[in-house]
Amino acid sequence: MGTCDSKPAPKTNVKGPKKELTFGKDPNLNIADFMLKEAKGETLVRTELKGQQFLIEDSADCNVYLLDKLAALTVDSIKNCVVVTGPIEGSAFLRDAENCTFIVAAGQIRTRDCKNCKIFLFSGTEPVIEASKGLEIGCYGLQYFELENHFDKAGMSVWNNKWSEVFDFTPAEGCSSKNSTNYKAMDMATSNHEEYMKALVEKQPGIVERVGLGNGGVVPVTHGRGKARSEDADGACILLVASPSSDFGRITTKVLEWEKEEGKGEGKAVLVRTRKVALTKEQANTLFGGVGDASLKIKLVKDCGGGGGGKKGDGGMVGEILAMEFNLLGGGGEGEKGAVKKILEEEDLTWIGEGDMAVEQSKNLFSIWKENQ
């Protein structure tokens, strides 16, 4: 959680009035189906939420499983709970949660006044924490039959998970958001959320077969910014990129298979960050500048950046690339490189480079060119 040793910063605001939730004008909706209030020791399972928002409030010792697409999630004043969700199209707002575990995928997430919570997270934007401490944050790796479809319906790409790029509004005095002591990233080589499914399996023994509940299989499990060589972690960097003409579905399947076999972070290589993003022509020229094959470079630049049809800037934007940043934890031996090269077999991927070149381009893709994302 960092090494700052100063007193914590004071809270910037007091708890405001609770926002009244609205559920549209459908007369067939029963608002009680979309909230859990003043509950204790309950296990709640919802698999049909009709794209609505959900409220969890003033509850303790509960297990809540919302296995569908949601519009939004609001959590307020809960203790010792487990909350599991499918993709949330809008925001997840977690307030005044203590000793809880969240397995949540959202377009954006914000915590306030949360203490000692674990959050396995997919976030389409940088997660924001405020007046919170003792948080452990890791990568979302849930699996159920309709999860991929729910991500599509929510307009969320499984490649754009920014779970580790946390912004802390209230770091301890003398700390920055980046080295905040209020949270730490989980070690994804040893962390998963299978144990938090036990209550559900015990209460509904047939749930695994009925909805395909499991761990992993849709969202690539990334190890986060703290493991990135481009963020000064130890190791060696490799960057792979797929052009817009690639079969993204096949590549996703290949990467998920690779993670099960090679990417556990046990002395070889780990997948650090991924991004699906459009490039300008200038950015494409920069990214592929080190590609040795001249004809391939020309093709990639034309395919990825500014061939007409774009709407962002004079350079134009065409399609989207997939970018994958790896870190070779042992320093870049041939065995580690070979582990990553297994993803290249029969796939339309380009090895952008390794070492300093890969570090530079990773910084561009994940830190500098944020206006495209």
230 close to 365: Cβ distance less than 8 angstroms: no
Q: Which residues does 322 contact at the CB level (< 8 Å), separation at least 6?
A: 159, 241, 242, 246, 248, 251, 274, 275, 276
Q: What DSSP line would sit under 324-354, residue for residue?
A: EEEEETTSS-HHHHHHHHTTTTTS-EEEEEE
326 and 186 in a common domain: no
In percent, the amount of the chain with pLDDT more than 90 equals 45
256 CB burial (10 A radius; 0-12, 13-18, 19+): middle
241 & 135 share domain: no
Q: Phi/psi of residue 255, each to 5°?
A: -65, -40
Q: Do residues 195 and 245 share a domain?
A: no
CATH code at 139? 2.160.20.70
Assess whether 228 and 178 both reside in one domain. Answer: no
Looking at the fold, whether 249 and 349 belong to one and the same domain comes out as yes
* Co-location of 166 and 237 in the same domain: no
Higher pLDDT residue, 104 or 335? 104
Asked which of 96-105, 160-169, 361-370 is least confident by mean pLDDT, the reply is 361-370
Q: Are residues 47 and 140 in the same domain?
A: yes
Please report, for the domain that includes residue 314, its CATH number. 3.30.70
Domain membership flag for residue 290: yes
For the stretch 206-227, pLDDT in tens is: 777 788 777 778 999 999 999 8
In a domain, 214, yes or no: no
Pair 302, 178 in one domain: no
Residue 109 falls inside a structural domain? yes
Amino acid symbol at 22: T
Return the closest-CA partner of residue 339 out of 250, 216, 238: 238
| Domain hosting residue 114, numbered range | 31-200
Confidence of residue 259 (pLDDT cuts 50, 70, 90): confident
- DSSP letter string over 203-239? H-TTHHHHH--EE-SSS-----GGG-GGGT-SSEEEE
- pTM comes to 0.88
On whether both 153 and 234 belong to a single domain, the answer is no
Query: How many degrees, rounded to 5, is the angle at CA 242 between CA 239 and CA 245?
Result: 165
